[in-house]
Amino acid sequence: MTYTLLHHTGCSTSRNGLALLEENGIKPEIRKYMNAGDALTVDDLKDIAKKMGDVSPRAFLREKDAKKFEISDTLGDEELFEAMVQNPRLIQRPIGIKDGKAVLGRPIDKLLEIA
């Protein structure tokens, strides 16, 4: 099955994660989710959360951007998914997806756990 990497070219951690995968012989399908053509939907985000073990979207929320965009700590999961769709900067990266599993690449070595 294909390894998909949710990737943001402007993020050094995301670039390093892609390089790590490639160094290990993994050629992921890249989804540049910050671009309109590759944007994530609420259903995409819910699927990622499920593949991470049925976690809250807070498990892959960029905390510093959540503060910048005044995302309340009391915001429910549904509202948080919507906020992430409206502003993809809120999504932590990189995220690797393969074989029904997803992992946040923080640290980037975690991307190899599902390779």
Whether the Cβ atoms of residue 40 and residue 63 lie closer than 8 Å to each other:
no
pLDDT at 46: 98
Residue 48: is its pLDDT beyond 90? yes
Q: Which of 11, 75, 85, 114 is catalytic?
A: 11
**The whole model's pTM is what?**
0.94
Instruction: Judge whether 101 and 50 are in contact, CB under 8 Å.
Output: no
d(CA 72, CA 99): 33
- Work out the mean pLDDT of the chain and round it to a whole number: 96
19 CB-contact burial (10 Å; exposed 0-12 / middle 13-18 / buried 19+): exposed
CATH number at residue 101: 3.40.30.10
At residue 18, the pLDDT reads 98
| Residue 109 annotated in active site | no
In the chain, the number of structural domains is 1
Q: What is the pLDDT of residues 57-84, one digit of tens each?
A: 999 999 999 999 899 999 999 999 999 9
Range of the domain at 21: 4-114
Q: Which pLDDT band holds residue 40 (cuts at 50, 70, 90)?
A: very high
